[in-house]
């Protein structure tokens, strides 16, 4: 009895455990298989949709090229301008035949400028004068090429390209090429081995026209097969029950159907026309029959192997339990002896536990004091850490301020040296150019007197009857007549050159302004003109300077410092232009402030660089070509004038720096 009780108590739970494990394994395998199948189906469906779009894009590209080729035909242009449908038909029919054979483009239309159909080449009669399609309307509105998939009046889904036809810069009409999407779907079926069903909403079709059109093409025209849609194309025939299931399934859920001994997973995608409107459904069906059969075979093998293993384990456990029962009697007595020994051990253990509790209480008290000391030390460390962080922050601020002042002093010293050099050069040039100009002016007065004397001398010689042949010959050898004619032009050009040198000297003196370090009422237009003249060597070969000056009042400022700002911005604008561009200088008054903007058509500034351009020593130029101080000093000068400066830039289009200075500074 005891043996049977042990076997019953052990073998029954063991058997149930094995059954649960087998069922769990089968269920997990089924779920994994379902997940893999769903992921595979999703991937295949996405690949099929991507391939469908690729095929559509390839066909559209081919049709665009064909439309461009047709539009370039001079004979077709003349016929279109004249509205000669017979000539258009004669010229277009051979082209349509070649396109139909080589590129599978069987449909061609010619439309007038107002969108009316002039000629339908593939079927001239009956003659539809008006075609209300999205692609034609879009091409008329935008005057640009329009393309996409559209629903025809007979329920056929057609790929269309409408090309605006221009001749001599004038729109003369529209060329439309089209082909049936069914050809693309057949290619998709051949490549992916995925079945498909194409449905259209009934409310978009005229039943009589649709049935007549399907009948004329020899296709099925069962209007009542589905409730809200009709099937316009399908690569596989399925029963009405399964057809209703796949057409009314959710867009994001795959549906499983079976018929004819085959199993399929179907997924429903919205079908959009060229205008983005949902007009039906595109259903893809993947044959999963082999996968299901393979899983069934796998399940059968697993169940058979599990049953065989359970039977072997059952027999083995039955024999082992018999031996266990025999050992239990002797083991029972041993256990009773051990219980007695364990009782004594428990008594001693209770004594040890009470002693241990006393020790733990003492240890707890020590830990409480230790935690308080640790907390106190932690608070002190946190306070010291905060003090260190505060000191570090102050040091960073002091270092940044020292760096800014160092950059400002360095640039001011550099500009002071340049100003002294410019003033010295201007002074040294101004003295010699002054007496050169004065001497040329005197020479311009002397030359007419010499010319009159020579003329009077010649007249006196002729009046005295003297021999003048030798003198005339000598006069020609020396080219005296040419010299007398050219000397006035030479003097005039020399005076113009000295005037230009004087203007350059004056601009140098104006720009340097050694004596203008103090604030004074200044005309900013004079500062801008002077700085533009000084930087003309940087600007003249790369940019055209446009001055768009507004009506601004003189302001109280330090002109020498503002000249530095203008010079830095103008040189940066010239360096930003790679080949040839425009630099526009604009001024205006707004809200009690004078605004100056300097805009270029250069390469522009990146967003991450734009945030750092006013920092000292930041530069994007090569080593040795920039110090990184120009814009930093400009920023400091504008701020010292209680103004503001900011930058706006677009990559590939240009950059604009804008200064805002108060009128009453």
Q: Which band of pLDDT confidence, cut at 50, 70 and 90, is reported for residue 644?
A: very high
Indicate whether 249 belongs to any domain.
yes
33, 160: one domain: yes
Say if 417 falls within a structural domain. Answer: no
Least confident of 39-43, 506-510, 562-566: 506-510
Task: Give the residue among 18, 627, 553, 8 at the shortest CA–CA distance from 312.
Answer: 18
Per-residue pLDDT for 367 more than 70? Answer: yes
> How much is the pLDDT for 623?
47
Please write down the HEC assignment for all residues of 464-525. Answer: HCCCCHHHHHHHHHCCHHHHHHHHHHHHHHHHHHHHHHHHHHHHHHHHHCCCCCCCEEECHH
C-beta of residue 236 within 8 angstroms of C-beta of residue 262: no
For 79, the domain range is: 1-178
What would the mean pLDDT of 437-444 be, rounded to a whole number? 69
Confidence at residue 585, expressed as pLDDT on a 0 to 100 scale:
94
pLDDT of res. 624:
47
Q: What is the pLDDT of residue 1?
A: 43
Return the biggest CA–CA distance within the chain: 177
Q: Same structural domain for residues 158 and 258?
A: no
| Average pLDDT value for residue range 585-612 | 90
CATH of the domain at 160: 3.30.450.20
Q: pLDDT, tens digit, for every residue of 326-344?
A: 677 678 778 888 888 888 8
Whether residue 355 is predicted with pLDDT greater than 50 in this model: the reply is yes
Give the residue, 263 or 65, on which the prediction is more confident: 65
Cβ distance 579 to 542 under 8 Å?
A: yes
Same domain, 14 and 142: yes
Model pTM score: 0.40
pLDDT at residue 211 above 60?
yes
Instruction: Tell me what the mean pLDDT of segment 274-300 comes to.
Output: 75
Average pLDDT in the 412-422 region? 56
Residue 233's pLDDT is: 72
Asked if residue 141 and residue 36 are part of one domain, the reply reads yes
Predicted local distance difference test score (pLDDT) of residue 37: 67
Residue with the bigger pLDDT between 647 and 488: it is 647
User: Which residue did the predictor score with more confidence, 507 or 237?
Assistant: 237
Instruction: Please report the pLDDT score of residue 550 as a whole number.
Output: 93
- The percent of the chain in helix, strand and coil, each rounded to the nearest 5, is 60, 20, 20
Q: Is the pLDDT of residue 399 over 60?
A: yes
Question: Which of the residue ranges 287-291, 337-341, 442-446 has the most confident prediction, judged by mean pLDDT?
Answer: 337-341
Distance in angstroms (rounded) separating the CA atoms of residues 181 and 48: 15
pLDDT at 546 over 60: yes
Whether residues 62 and 209 share a domain: the answer is no
Is the pLDDT at 390 greater than 90? The verdict is no
| Residue 407 placed within a domain | no
**For residue 502, is it within any domain?**
no
Residue 265 counted as domain residue:
yes
Most confident residue range from 60-69, 307-316, 339-348: 60-69
Angle, to 10 degrees, between the axis of helix 2-71 and the axis of helix 74-82?
A: 80
370 falls within a domain: no
**Residue 494 binned pLDDT confidence (cut-offs 50, 70, 90):** confident
Which of 71-75, 163-167, 206-210 shows the lowest mean pLDDT across its residues? 206-210
How many structural domains is the chain composed of? 3
Backbone angles phi, psi at 144, to 5 degrees: -130, 165
- pLDDT given at position 502: 63
The secondary structure of residue 276, as a DSSP letter, is S
Query: Do 127 and 231 fall into the same domain?
Result: no
pLDDT at 661: 93
The predicted structure's pLDDT at residue 510: 54
* pLDDT given at position 358: 86
pLDDT for res 127? 55
At residue 266, the pLDDT reads 75
Residue 391, pLDDT score: 78
Question: What CATH number is given to the structural domain containing 617?
Answer: 3.30.565.10
């Amino acid at each position: 009895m005891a043996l049977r009780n042990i076997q019953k108590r052990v073998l029954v739970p063991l058997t149930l455990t094995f059954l649960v494990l087998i069922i769990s394994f089968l269920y997990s395998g089924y779920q994994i298989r379902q997940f893999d199948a769903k992921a595979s189906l999703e991937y295949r469906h996405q690949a099929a949709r991507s391939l469908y779009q690729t095929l559509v894009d390839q066909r559209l590209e081919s049709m665009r090229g064909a439309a461009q080729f047709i539009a370039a035909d001079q004979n077709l242009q003349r016929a279109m301008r004249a509205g000669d449908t017979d000539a258009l038909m004669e010229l277009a029919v051979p082209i349509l035949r070649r396109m139909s054979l080589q590129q599978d483009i069987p449909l061609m239309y010619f439309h007038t400028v107002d969108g009316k159909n002039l000629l339908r080449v593939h079927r001239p009669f009956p003659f539809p004068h008006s075609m209300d399609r999205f692609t034609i309307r879009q091409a008329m509105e935008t005057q640009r090429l329009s393309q996409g998939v559209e629903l025809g009046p007979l329920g056929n889904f057609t790929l269309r390209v409408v090309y605006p036809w221009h001749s001599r810069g004038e729109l003369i009409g529209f060329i439309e090429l089209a082909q049936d999407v069914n050809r693309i779907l057949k290619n998709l079926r051949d490549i992916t081995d995925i079945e498909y069903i194409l449905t259209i909403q009934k409310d978009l079709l005229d039943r009589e026209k649709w049935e007549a059109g399907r009948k004329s093409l020899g296709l099925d025209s069962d209007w009542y097969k589905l409730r809200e849609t009709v099937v316009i194309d399908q690569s596989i025939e399925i029963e009405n029950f399964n057809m209703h299931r796949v057409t009314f399934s959710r867009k994001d859920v795959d549906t499983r159907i079976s018929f004819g001994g085959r199993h399929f997973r179907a997924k429903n995608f919205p079908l959009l026309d060229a205008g983005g409107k949902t007009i039906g459904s595109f259903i893809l069906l993947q044959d999963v029959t082999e996968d299901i059969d393979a899983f069934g075979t796998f399940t059968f093998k697993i169940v058979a192997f599990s049953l065989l293993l359970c039977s072997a384990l059952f027999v083995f456990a039955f024999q082992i339990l018999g031996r266990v029962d025999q050992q239990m009697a002797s083991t029972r007595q041993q256990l009773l002896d051990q219980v007695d020994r364990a009782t004594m051990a428990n008594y001693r253990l209770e004594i040890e536990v009470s002693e241990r509790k006393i020790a733990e209480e003492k240890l707890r008290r020590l830990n409480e004091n230790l935690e308080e000391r640790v907390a106190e030390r932690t608070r002190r460390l946190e306070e010291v850490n905060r003090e260190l962080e505060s000191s570090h922050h102050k040091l960073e601020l002091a270092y940044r301020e020292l760096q800014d002042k160092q950059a400002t002093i360095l640039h001011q010293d550099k500009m002071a040296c340049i100003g002294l050099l410019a003033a010295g050069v201007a002074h040294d040039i101004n003295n010699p150019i002054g007496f050169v100009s004065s001497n040329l002016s005197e020479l311009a007065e002397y030359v007419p007197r010499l010319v009159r004397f020579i003329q009077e001398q010649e007249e006196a010689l002729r009046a005295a009857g003297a021999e003048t042949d030798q003198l005339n010959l000598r006069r020609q050898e020396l080219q005296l007549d040419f010299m007398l004619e050219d000397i006035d032009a030479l003097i005039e050009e020399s005076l113009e050159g000295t005037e230009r040198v004087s203007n350059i000297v004056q601009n140098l003196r104006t720009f340097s302004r050694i004596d203008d370090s103090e604030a004074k009422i200044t005309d900013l237009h004079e500062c801008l003109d002077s700085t533009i003249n000084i930087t003309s060597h940087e600007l003249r070969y790369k940019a055209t300077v446009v001055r768009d000056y507004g009506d601004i009042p003189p302001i109280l400022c330090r002109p020498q410092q503002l000249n530095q700002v203008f010079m830095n911005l103008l040189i940066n604008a010239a360096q930003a232009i790679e080949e040839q561009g425009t630099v526009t200088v604009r001024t205006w008054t707004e809200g009690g402030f004078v605004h100056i903007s300097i805009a270029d058509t250069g390469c522009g500034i990146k967003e991450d660089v734009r945030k750092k351009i006013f920092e000292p020593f930041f530069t994007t130029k090569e080593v040795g070509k920039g110090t990184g101080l120009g814009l930093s000093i400009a920023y400091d000068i504008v701020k010292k004038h209680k103004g503001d400066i900011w930058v706006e830039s677009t990559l590939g289009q240009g950059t604009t720096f804008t200064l805002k200075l108060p009128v009453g500074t």
